[in-house]
Each structure stands twice: as C-alpha cells, then as structure tokens.
Amino acid sequence: MTGVHTATPSASPHRHDGEDYRLSLPNTSRSAGIARHFVTSLLTASPHSGIVDDLRLCVTEVVANAHRHTGTSSIRLHVTVSPEQVTVSVADDAPWTPPPADEIRSGPGKESGRGLVLLDALASAWGSDVCGCCAPSHKAVWFTLPATARATS
C-alpha cells in the first residue's frame, strides 16, 4: 500500500484511460449508502465485479468520514474505472485531511480512524489532497483498488 498526503495540489490519481463517473450528494446520513449503491451499479456487471465488496467498504468509509467530520453542504464522488484499476475520490469543502496511515494505526484504544485503517489495508494506494493553496478551501480523499480481487487466506 502506498499513502500520499499533500497540502498542495497534486496530479489527479484518476487515470485518463478509463471511464469517469461523478455523483454529487448532499451531506446527509444517507450519503454513504447512496454512494455505495452508485459504485455497486458501476461494477456489478463489469469485469471488475470481483472487487465490488472492497470498493463498497472503502467508499462507505470515506463518504461517512466526510459526513461525520465536516459541515460541508455537499460531498462529491468521482470514480474512474480503467482496465487495471478503479480510483475513487471523495471531495468536500473542508480543508482538514486525515493523518498518515502510520499515525492512524498507532494506539490500540483509539475510538476513531478504524475506517482509514481498512482503507489502508484494502487499497493499493490512497491519499488526500488539500486544494486552494494559501487559503485551503477543500480536500479530496482518494483511493485506488486493483481490478483483480485480493487473494483471501
């Protein structure tokens, strides 16, 4: 797993050889479920159907975090489906970004951050970008899953 966290705009993690899908959601308690159904509908009948469960879990966690930890009015979902991978970014209008994965994993009694630990375990790469330069205005948390399902032991 590769984590990337930047405070300045970086290149989009979305590939240019894929199909792009976007969904804008109101910031409500139903947003994570709607986003989960959206990505499921994109991949269920595709060659990527083997990663639907992991994708649903990751999308649910990231959208739920945007809902729970921001007062933003909308949450924006961007999904790119390419032959080799699926990349998702979730943007909101709050400049806070999650801490690096090694900080999340420390502390056995932590009450929050467990969803990002799951993201760290399932995604081949994930990160966050704060946009807006000197006056940060919003962030995007993104992750990439390889097109093939993980081997289970």
- Over residues 19-68, the pLDDT tens digits come to 999 999 999 999 999 999 999 999 987 888 899 999 999 999 999 989 98
pLDDT at position 38, please? 97
Distance CA 26, CA 7 (A): 25
Query: Domain 2-146 falls in which CATH fold?
Result: Heat Shock Protein 90 (3.30.565)
Strands (E), 50-97: 74-81, 85-92
pLDDT band at 128 (very low <50, low <70, confident <90, very high): confident
Cα torsion 101, 43, 70, 135: sign? positive
Residue 28 has a CB neighbour count (10 Å cut-off) of 11
Start-to-end C-alpha separation, the chain: 18
Cα torsion 141, 2, 10, 20: sign? negative
List, for residues 144-153, the tens digit of each pLDDT value: 999 886 555 4
- 8 Å CB contact between 11 and 87: no
- 8 Å CB contact between 21 and 55: no
- Asked if pLDDT for residue 106 goes beyond 60, the answer is no
- 38's enclosing H/E stretch is helix 31-43
